[in-house]
Chains A and B, each alone.
Chain A
Amino acid sequence: MASKRRLKTVVVGIGGMAISDSPDESLVAHSLGSCLGVTFYDPVLKVGGMAHCMLPLSRIDKEKAKAKPGLFVDIGVPKLIEAMLRRGCRKKNLVARVAGAARVMDRANFFRIGERNHAVFRKIMWKNGLFIRAEDIGGDQARTLRLEIETGRVVVQSEGREREL
Chain B
Amino acid sequence: MAYNILIVDDSLTARTFIARTLQMAEVPLSQVYQARNGQEALDLLQRVWVDLVFADINMPTVNGTEMVRQMRAMDLLKSIPVIIISTDRSAQRMAEMREAGVQAYLTKPITPEDLKAVVERFLKSA
Q: Does A132 contact B (CB under 8 A)?
A: yes
Instruction: Give the chain B neighbours of A131 by CB distance below 8 A.
Output: 24-25, 112-113, 116
Docked pose: A126 CA to B111 CA in angstroms: 10
Q: Does B43 contact A (CB under 8 A)?
A: no
CB under 8 Å from chain B, chain A span 108-149: 122, 126, 129-132
Task: Find the B residue at minimum CB distance from A92.
Answer: B26
CB under 8 Å from chain A, chain B span 71-119: 111-113, 116
Docked pose: A92 CA to B25 CA in angstroms: 9
CB under 8 Å from chain A, chain B span 1-44: 20, 23-26
Task: Find the B residue at minimum CB distance from A122.
Answer: B111
Docked pose: A86 CA to B23 CA in angstroms: 23
A-B contacts, CB under 8 A, total: 14
B113 and A132 contacting across the interface, CB-CB below 8 Å: yes
Instruction: Give the chain A neighbours of B23 by CB distance below 8 A.
Output: 129
Instruction: Give the chain A neighbours of B25 by CB distance below 8 A.
Output: 131
Docked pose: A154 CA to B26 CA in angstroms: 25
Docked pose: A159 CA to B112 CA in angstroms: 30
A48 to chain B, nearest CB (A): 20
**Could you tell me the dominant secondary structure of chain B's interface residues?**
helix
A14 to chain B, nearest CB (A): 27
B86 to chain A, nearest CB (A): 21
Instruction: Give the chain A neighbours of B26 by CB distance below 8 A.
Output: 92
B24 and A130 contacting across the interface, CB-CB below 8 Å: yes
Docked pose: A132 CA to B113 CA in angstroms: 7
Docked pose: A63 CA to B111 CA in angstroms: 34
Instruction: Give the chain B neighbours of A132 by CB distance below 8 A.
Output: 111, 113
Instruction: Give the chain B neighbours of A129 by CB distance below 8 A.
Output: 20, 23-24
B120 to chain A, nearest CB (A): 11
A11 to chain B, nearest CB (A): 29
Instruction: Give the chain A neighbours of B111 by CB distance below 8 A.
Output: 122, 132
Docked pose: A122 CA to B23 CA in angstroms: 17
A95 to chain B, nearest CB (A): 12
B27 to chain A, nearest CB (A): 12
Task: Find the B residue at minimum CB distance from A135.
Answer: B113
Docked pose: A9 CA to B125 CA in angstroms: 43
Task: Find the B residue at minimum CB distance from A128.
Answer: B24
Interface residues, chain A, with chain B CB atoms under 8 Å away: 92, 122, 126, 129-132
> Which 4 A-B pairs have CB atoms at the shortest separation, nearest pair first?
A129-B24, A131-B113, A132-B113, A131-B112
Add 11 more A-B contacts to A126-B112, A131-B24, A131-B25 (CB < 8 A).
A92-B26, A122-B111, A129-B20, A129-B23, A129-B24, A130-B24, A131-B112, A131-B113, A131-B116, A132-B111, A132-B113
